[in-house]
């Protein structure tokens, strides 16, 4: 939390010394009168400039208090009486460069039994929102608006996945499929029309949620959304074309084949970015890693904000998912329309925090040439789930597609897509296959629990029944058990090594002199190198980014304290962090 020294001094001085700062003809209990007087006096500048000597002379004649102020250089942040909202607001207003972390002063206000309005103001309003208020009534109105907005956001997040709607759609689908199986096409058409109408209503419901969910990202912490709003559109560049002498069919085949030559490099580059973001401890670490300018403090904010929790089971801040290869019929259709297929290699980055989405764009913009960017989140209205859509030059002018979506927007997109498919279908056979997985499916159950957790739904289980967390706990217990076993094995091996050294020292010198030298390592394969060799950066191996894979199973377990299969199941950021810790990166 950054609060200028002058703000701290000025704030404490107002609350403790109102009677010394205003003339006797002004009622010190009249907030508006006190503020009006202070605004008209040079004393405000004295406090904002942090003139300790002037403060001592004006504020108090108590030498002990003055000495404490002088030795400390500043007063304790927010050691205020917190009984007058307008004065709290005025302290913030007098220092335009101050940014207030709402949790800290609000928590202190609660400890001091401050009025509810003061607590809610500090919890819910940003500094700019406070500055817009002229009276306590204005503060109350602003708090009420923010509470209403947050309530809408909460309801929206909890309502994205409606399992009742899914169940009804499944019932209608089951009925329709049975009618098709009985060759009763007319009855199936009637059921299809009912299903289509229902899915159309659900598509509209989800479409209406987009604006509400976007309001959540904008208003939960406007300071973290502001850098994201600065990501502006970039003009589109077309894909590198295929040889013009080829027929359309051969051009399509050529482009699809060409994409395969770039896919591995594209995935490695995107996974590396996701791994760095997930393994970093701060935004400054990311800026330093990619040489991003942070001289203005734009990125000097916490990396993992509590209000933007992407995943209930991990502390990941981004997930990367690569799209499947585009099918030949669809590619042919698009090229026949004159489109140049900029999305043959594609990835979707899933974020929850707008600040980190903007920072990821800065990373991509630093590492690659961006040709074509559309920030669809800046639209005033939303007809479909928005995204941050761009094409980047991975190599040789070949363009790949990158999309960035907020977690809840991606959830809406996935849910909306299924209802939308039914809504645009022209007959029952098109949508006769099952649309939705059942809630008993572990993936769906986890998604539901996570959605409730993040929306603070009252129906969220308060016990530790979350299946993912339970699995993680079991895995951690298993790893600890392996570590204990390995520690015992290490002690045994150490004793054996010491005994071998002792016995070797008893041999005649000629035996030691003729001892054969260690054979050079075999060609790279699993178990070909020992840990000490793999720590050498000069070692020439086939894949330097996969050094851990060259360890034997036994030594891998000794080094990492887990089996290879468990290591492979870890999130990419955690694997990267462990490899760095062990000197294998």
**In the predicted model, is pLDDT for residue 12 greater than 80?**
no
pLDDT at 397: 94
What does the pLDDT average to over 208-215? 88
Q: How confident is the model at residue 336 (pLDDT cuts 50, 70, 90)?
A: very high
Residue 481 covered by a domain: yes
Contact 89, 98 (CB under 8 A): no
Q: Are residues 330 and 433 in the same domain?
A: yes
Question: What b/e string do you get for 329-345 counting C-beta neighbours within 10 Å, with b at 16 or more?
Answer: eebbeebeeeebbbbbb
Q: Which of 73, 70, 89 lies closest to 14, judged by CA?
A: 89
pLDDT tens digits, 279-294: 999 999 999 999 999 9
Q: How confident is the model at residue 252 (pLDDT cuts 50, 70, 90)?
A: very high
pLDDT at 132: 77
**In the predicted model, is pLDDT for residue 99 greater than 90?**
no
pLDDT tens digits, 443-495: 554 444 444 434 433 333 334 444 444 444 454 555 556 556 666 666 766 77
pLDDT tens digits, 420-446: 888 888 888 877 778 887 655 555 544
What does the pLDDT average to over 394-402? 95
Residue 460 covered by a domain: no
Among 402, 432, 454, give the residue marking a domain's end.
454
Residue 552 covered by a domain: yes
CATH number at residue 516: 1.10.950.10
| Range among 52-66, 317-331, 564-578 with highest mean pLDDT value | 317-331
Residue 463 covered by a domain: no
3-state secondary structure of 443: helix
pLDDT at 428: 87
Please tell me the distance from the alpha carbon of residue 388 to that of residue 404, in angstroms, as a whole number. 5
**In the predicted model, is pLDDT for residue 96 greater than 50?**
no
Residue 253 covered by a domain: yes
Percent pLDDT > 70 in the chain is: 65
What does the pLDDT average to over 2-23? 46
Q: Are residues 232 and 268 in the same domain?
A: yes
Residue 125 covered by a domain: yes
pLDDT tens digits, 111-170: 667 778 877 887 777 666 777 777 888 889 988 988 887 777 777 667 788 888 888 998
Mean residue pLDDT of the chain comes to 75
Q: Are residues 406 and 502 in the same domain?
A: no
Please tell me the distance from the alpha carbon of residue 30 to that of residue 23, in angstroms, as a whole number. 13
**In the predicted model, is pLDDT for residue 357 greater than 90?**
yes
Question: What b/e string do you get for 449-458 counting C-beta neighbours within 10 Å, with b at 16 or more?
Answer: bbbbebbebe
| Range among 365-369, 380-384, 515-519 with highest mean pLDDT value | 365-369
Q: How confident is the model at residue 94 (pLDDT cuts 50, 70, 90)?
A: very low
Q: Are residues 289 and 427 in the same domain?
A: yes
Q: Which of 307, 310, 302 lies closest to 285, judged by CA?
A: 302
Among 430, 454, 478, give the residue marking a domain's end.
454
The number of beta carbons lying within 10 Å of the beta carbon of residue 190 is 14
What does the pLDDT average to over 209-217? 87
Percent pLDDT > 90 in the chain is: 29
pLDDT at 245: 95
pTM: 0.58
Among 156, 174, 198, give the residue marking a domain's end.
156
Q: Are residues 406 and 265 in the same domain?
A: yes
Distances (CA, A) of 334 to 5, 243, 263, 343: 61, 17, 20, 11
3-state secondary structure of 86: helix
What does the pLDDT average to over 291-307? 86
Distances (CA, A) of 570 to 133, 209, 352, 482: 49, 34, 21, 16
Range from 320-329, 344-353, 565-574 carrying the lowest mean pLDDT = 565-574
- What tokens appear for 66 in the block? 């003055």
Q: Are residues 263 and 408 in the same domain?
A: yes
502 or 406, which is more confident: 406
Q: How confident is the model at residue 404 (pLDDT cuts 50, 70, 90)?
A: very high
Q: How confident is the model at residue 267 (pLDDT cuts 50, 70, 90)?
A: very high
What does the pLDDT average to over 361-385? 92
Contact 132, 99 (CB under 8 A): no
Q: How confident is the model at residue 545 (pLDDT cuts 50, 70, 90)?
A: confident
Range from 89-103, 329-343, 347-361 carrying the lowest mean pLDDT = 89-103
Please tell me the distance from the alpha carbon of residue 220 to that of residue 215, in angstroms, as a whole number. 8
Range from 193-207, 408-422, 569-583 carrying the lowest mean pLDDT = 569-583
* CA angle, residues 120, 125, 130, in degrees to nearest 5: 110
E strands, 274-382, are: 319-322, 346-351, 369-375
| Range among 74-83, 110-119, 409-418 with highest mean pLDDT value | 409-418
Contact 144, 138 (CB under 8 A): no
Q: Are residues 410 and 495 in the same domain?
A: no
Range from 44-53, 146-155, 450-459, 505-514 carrying the lowest mean pLDDT = 450-459
Q: Are residues 443 and 385 in the same domain?
A: yes
pLDDT at 577: 78
* Environment class of 406 (CB within 10 Å of its CB; exposed 0-12, middle 13-18, buried 19+): buried
Contact 129, 141 (CB under 8 A): no
Q: Which of 352, 418, 358, 416 lies closest to 384, judged by CA?
A: 416
Contacts of 4 (CB under 8 A, 6+ apart): 50, 95, 97, 98
Range from 4-18, 155-169, 539-553 carrying the lowest mean pLDDT = 4-18
pLDDT at 78: 34
- What tokens appear for 374 in the block? 């559309």
Residue 319 covered by a domain: yes
What is the number of H-type helices and E-type strands within the chain?
26, 5
Number of domains in the chain: 3
Q: How confident is the model at residue 403 (pLDDT cuts 50, 70, 90)?
A: very high
Q: Are residues 11 and 113 in the same domain?
A: yes
- What tokens appear for 310 in the block? 């992407």
Q: Are residues 205 and 253 in the same domain?
A: yes
What does the pLDDT average to over 389-416? 94
Residue 335 covered by a domain: yes
Q: Are residues 447 and 545 in the same domain?
A: no
Domain coverage including residue 63: 5-156
| Range among 343-347, 499-503, 521-525, 572-576 with highest mean pLDDT value | 343-347
Please tell me the distance from the alpha carbon of residue 472 to that of residue 466, in angstroms, as a whole number. 10
**In the predicted model, is pLDDT for residue 84 greater than 60?**
no
Q: Are residues 201 and 102 in the same domain?
A: no
């Amino acid at each position: 939390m950054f609060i200028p020294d002058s703000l701290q001094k000025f704030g404490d001085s107002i609350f403790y010394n109102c009677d010394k700062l205003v003339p006797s003809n002004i009622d010190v209990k009249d907030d508006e009168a006190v503020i009006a007087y202070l605004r008209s006096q040079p004393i405000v500048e004295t406090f904002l400039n942090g003139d300790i000597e002037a403060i001592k002379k004006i504020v108090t004649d108590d030498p002990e208090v003055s000495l404490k102020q002088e030795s400390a250089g500043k007063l304790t942040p927010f050691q205020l009486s917190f009984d007058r909202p307008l004065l709290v607001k005025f302290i913030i207003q007098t220092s335009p460069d101050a940014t207030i972390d709402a949790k800290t002063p609000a928590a202190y206000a609660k400890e001091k039994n401050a009025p509810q309005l003061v607590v809610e103001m500090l919890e819910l309003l940003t500094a700019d929102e406070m500055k817009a208020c002229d009276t306590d009534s204005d503060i109350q109105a602003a708090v009420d608006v923010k509470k209403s907005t947050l309530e809408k956001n909460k309801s929206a997040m909890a309502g994205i996945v409606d399992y009742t709607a899914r169940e009804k759609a499944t019932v209608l689908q089951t009925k329709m499929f049975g009618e098709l199986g009985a060759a009763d096409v007319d009855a199936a058409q009637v059921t299809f029309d009912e299903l289509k109408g229902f899915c159309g209503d659900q598509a509209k419901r989800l479409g209406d949620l987009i604006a509400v969910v976007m309001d959540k990202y904008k208003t939960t912490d406007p300071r973290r959304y502001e850098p994201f709003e600065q990501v502006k559109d970039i003009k589109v560049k077309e894909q590198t074309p295929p040889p013009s002498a080829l027929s359309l069919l051969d051009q399509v085949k050529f482009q699809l084949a060409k994409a395969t030559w770039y896919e591995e490099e594209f995935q490695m580059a995107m996974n590396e970015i996701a791994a760095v973001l997930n393994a970093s401890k701060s935004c400054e670490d990311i800026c330093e890693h990619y040489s991003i300018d942070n001289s203005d403090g734009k990125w000097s904010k916490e990396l993992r904000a509590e209000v933007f929790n992407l995943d209930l089971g991990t502390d990941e801040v981004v997930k990367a998912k690569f799209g499947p290869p585009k099918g030949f019929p669809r590619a042919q259709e698009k090229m026949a329309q004159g489109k140049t297929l900029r999305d043959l290699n594609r990835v979707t980055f899933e974020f929850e925090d707008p600040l980190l989405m903007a920072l990821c764009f800065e990373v991509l913009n630093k590492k690659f040439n961006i040709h074509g960017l559309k920030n669809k989140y800046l639209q005033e209205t939303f007809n479909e789930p928005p995204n941050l859509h761009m094409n980047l030059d991975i190599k040789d002018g070949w363009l790949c597609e990158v999309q960035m979506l907020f977690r809840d927007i991606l959830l809406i997109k996935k849910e909306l897509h299924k209802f939308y498919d039914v809504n645009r279908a022209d007959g029952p056979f098109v949508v006769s296959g099952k649309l939705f997985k059942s809630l008993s499916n572990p993936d769906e159950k986890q998604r539901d629990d996570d959605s409730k957790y993040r929306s603070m739904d009252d129906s969220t289980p308060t016990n530790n029944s979350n299946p993912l967390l339970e699995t993680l706990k079991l895995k951690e217990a298993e790893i600890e058990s392996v570590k204990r076993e390995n520690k015992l094995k290490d002690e045994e091996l150490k004793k054996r090594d010491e005994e071998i050294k002792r016995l070797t020292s008893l041999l005649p010198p000629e035996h030691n002199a003729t001892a054969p030298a260690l054979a050079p390592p075999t060609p790279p394969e699993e178990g070909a190198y020992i840990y000490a060799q793999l720590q050498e950066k000069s070692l020439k191996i086939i894949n330097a980014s996969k050094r851990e894979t060259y360890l034997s199973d036994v030594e891998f377990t000794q080094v990492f304290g887990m089996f290879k299969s468990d290591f492979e199941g870890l999130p990419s950021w955690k694997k990267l962090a462990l490899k760095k810790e062990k000197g294998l990166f």
